[in-house]
Amino acid sequence: MKSRAVGPGRRLLLLLLLVLRAAYVRGAPRPRRYTPDWRSLDARPLPDWFDKAKFGVFVHWGVFSVPAWGSEWFWWHWKGEGLPQYEQFMSDNYPPGFSYADFGPQFTARFFHPEAWADLFQAAGAKYVVLTTKHHEGFTNWPSPVSWNWNSKDVGPHRDLVGELGKALRKRNIRYGLYHSLLEWFHPLYLLDKKNGFKTQYFVRAKTMPELYDLVNRSMPRALCWAWQSSLGFHCFFSLQELVQTVSLGGNYLLNIGPTKDGLIVPIFQERLLAVGKWLNINGEAIYASKPWRIQLERNTTSVW
């Protein structure tokens, strides 16, 4: 289980779409339009619900859950960097000529029950849940129209994983967030743009933008960008002290879990989540919707900012 303490964003490298259930209100004022510069983007107010939520669950789940070794960066470490330990892992566990695409059919999600997941996250006290819709490998957890034969509807589960989980969470009034990568390590058009020093936008026009529009419009969301930053850390442990520290500095605590390729949340993850929920049932008054007293103390010696 990895923990991530989330504070205000800096340099935008990845896109995290926090997808809410949007309601169309007749006669509502037009939303403010923002321009692609930091001054404009930084002027966007933090949503009130997010400022009050304080605790959420991040779910990293995809084709990388099949080898379940290293991290979601498996393909890059194996083929992009050629790290010897990844070469050895493949040699020890898979036949010669086995490709990353061959992992796809093994990502079955056959035990994925979105209602059970949602019940668990609710019991954990999570006010929002974030699911990976697509990581840098390019596999999408919904039937993307521009990811032919490399999405969860065409390959593996043959299900719309993003849609199913969202439906279950919204029944419980849990906010739904979507993590979405803007790049794909080995997509031919991305590699072409990279070769051109990113002075061309073949990948952006043919893949990134159509896919982004489909994801957003399919969920009828309000969308928020989130950044990759030092406060998004990777740890193999979780501590309530870190949760309390994050909240005391005005931040949000996003706890990461990694289900199996079959869609199971293993018992130790369930135990930890339920333990957090039990603690929050007693101490939640000091966590949810809390604000620092007088001043918000921040030092660059902590992982929270």
Q: What is the pTM of this model?
A: 0.84
Q: Where are the domains of the chain?
A: 2-20+36-67+107-286
Percent helix, strand, coil in the chain, to 5, is 35, 10, 50
Give the CATH class of 2-20+36-67+107-286. alpha beta
Please provide the size of the chain in residues. 305
* pLDDT tens digits for range 62-110: 999 999 999 999 999 999 999 999 999 999 999 999 999 999 999 999 9
Q: What is the mean pLDDT of residues 265-289?
A: 96
pLDDT tens, position by position, 260-276 = 999 999 999 999 999 99
CB atoms within 10 A of CB 283: 14
Distance CA 281, CA 262 (A): 31
Q: Is the pLDDT of residue 225 over 90?
A: no
What 3-state class would DSSP assign to 278? Answer: helix
The sign of the dihedral angle between the CA atoms of 37, 43, 44, 50 is: positive
Among residues 245, 254, 255, 256, the alpha carbon closest in space to that of 286 is found at 245
The two tokens of residue 90 are 């493949």
Q: pLDDT for 3-32, tens place per residue?
A: 554 443 433 333 444 443 333 344 556 777
